Amino acid sequence: MPLSTIKAVITLMKVNILALDSASAVCGISALCFDKGQATVYSAQHSGSTQHAERILPLVEQVLEQAQIARQDLHAIAFAQGPGGFTGLRVACGVAQGIAHALGLQIAAVPSLLAIAAQQEPTTAPTIELVVVDARMQEIYLGAYQRTATGWYSLHKPVLISVDQLHHYIQQLNSQLIDLGLTTAIRLSGDALQAFDGLCKAVQQYDVLIGTAELARAETIAQLGLLAYQQNQLIDPALAAPLYVRNRVAFTIVEREQGLGGNPSATWQSVQLRALEVDDISQVVAIEASLQQHPWSATQFESSLSAGHFVWVATFAGQVVAYAVVMLTVDESELLLIGVSESHQRQGIAQQLLCYAEQAARAKGSVKMHLEVRVSNSAAIELYQGAGYRQVGLRKNYYSTDTTQREHAALYTKVLA
């Protein structure tokens, strides 16, 4: 069936989406009825984070009754994935899984920060929606998104950073845009704008736009759930999970005995991103050798540059700590390599470098980024899936190993525009 025909069928199709949001102090439920290209949303909510578990199902019944939708008429369940409070996130996720499993439906896991980005007034000029949400303990959840012709592009998945680091992030983002020759505005939104005194004034020096300070709304979760349904991006209930960005709120007893006090802080590290220079190759080769079973040599990196591939590096304190190699074709790109030195892993550097590589590819007209990864490389797969890559295939027995048995390669793709 031609793509145009599929789009026409989707437009005419009647779709009912149930959305649940308990990521904040407000428990919100929405039912979206999409019929003949028109969407009608019915909503109800209750304030009080300690009562989410007892209130959520009665709210679901209330909204379905308002919308005059029977359970068996639902097509998908959407839920606010977070980040947010641990207990609240589990409530919406668990109820979404239970309803979906009982009805034989699939789920749309919608990042809460993406919903806030989607609630901002559309602009005519290209704009990066930088969302900042109060994470307590002088820290914020941060995510960056951009509207596309087909929906949304996740520029930077949600991360945890300290409030003091926000200006470093904006500086870095501005530098990237200038380096890549992109004329793109940055708009800051989210409740951190109100939670931290002086934050709006502090970022004005970077010429950023200021959006709303509201939290995600259930009706927006429903709308993004409909988009996921239309684009075949739903997941099975068993795969649904809250988006926990802050993994720890306290040190262990052993850590406290070692003198660690207060609370574990965000590990995000600001780095400088730029194109590889010839003098960097020895440092890149050393990192590559420490990470790969079959590492690239200096000659291979030099050949890659000669072939017209783009090689980017991240530096910290003047030293190369990460690298990425990208091959561009006419309108698509492939990530050939990405690596971070062992001493700088789990600090958000791979995500920053991947973001930079994607932006560079988009600036040169790429609409998709492809990559392949060993199926056993769980850390890399977590990075790619969190950044919005979706598995599209499997290349069997592709990678050699230290034994005679070979390993499969998982193929991933991300839509950039």
Over residues 218-243, the pLDDT tens digits come to: 999 999 999 999 999 999 999 999 98
Kindly provide the b/e burial profile for residues 304-318, where b requires at least 16 CB atoms within 10 angstroms of the residue's own CB. Answer: bbeeebbbbbbebee
Residue 148: other Cβ atoms inside 10 A: 13
Residues 406, 397 contacting (CB under 8 angstroms): yes
Same domain as 374, residue 276 = yes
User: Average pLDDT of 21-34?
Assistant: 94
- Domain-located, residue 333: yes
Asked if pLDDT for residue 34 goes beyond 90, the answer is yes
- Domain-located, residue 253: no
User: Average pLDDT of 370-396?
Assistant: 92
Q: How confident is the model at residue 3 (pLDDT cuts 50, 70, 90)?
A: very low
User: Average pLDDT of 128-153?
Assistant: 92
Domain holding 330, by residue range, is: 269-415
User: Average pLDDT of 71-93?
Assistant: 93
Mean pLDDT of the chain: 88
| Gap between the Cα atoms of 88 and 51, Å rounded | 10
User: Average pLDDT of 185-197?
Assistant: 94
Separation in Å, CA 169 to CA 142, 228, 394: 10, 29, 36
**CATH number, position 388:** 3.40.630.30
Confidence (pLDDT) at 90:
92
Separation in Å, CA 120 to CA 45, 143, 356, 388: 21, 14, 24, 21
Number of domains composing the chain:
3
Same domain as 283, residue 401 = yes
Same domain as 144, residue 102 = no
Query: 63 forms bridges with which residues in the sheet?
Result: none
Q: How confident is the model at residue 188 (pLDDT cuts 50, 70, 90)?
A: very high
Same domain as 282, residue 165 = no
Same domain as 280, residue 378 = yes
Residue carrying structure tokens 């960005």: 245
| Gap between the Cα atoms of 2 and 365, Å rounded | 24
| Gap between the Cα atoms of 416 and 367, Å rounded | 5
Same domain as 350, residue 233 = no
| Gap between the Cα atoms of 21 and 17, Å rounded | 13
| Gap between the Cα atoms of 223 and 43, Å rounded | 12
Same domain as 356, residue 282 = yes
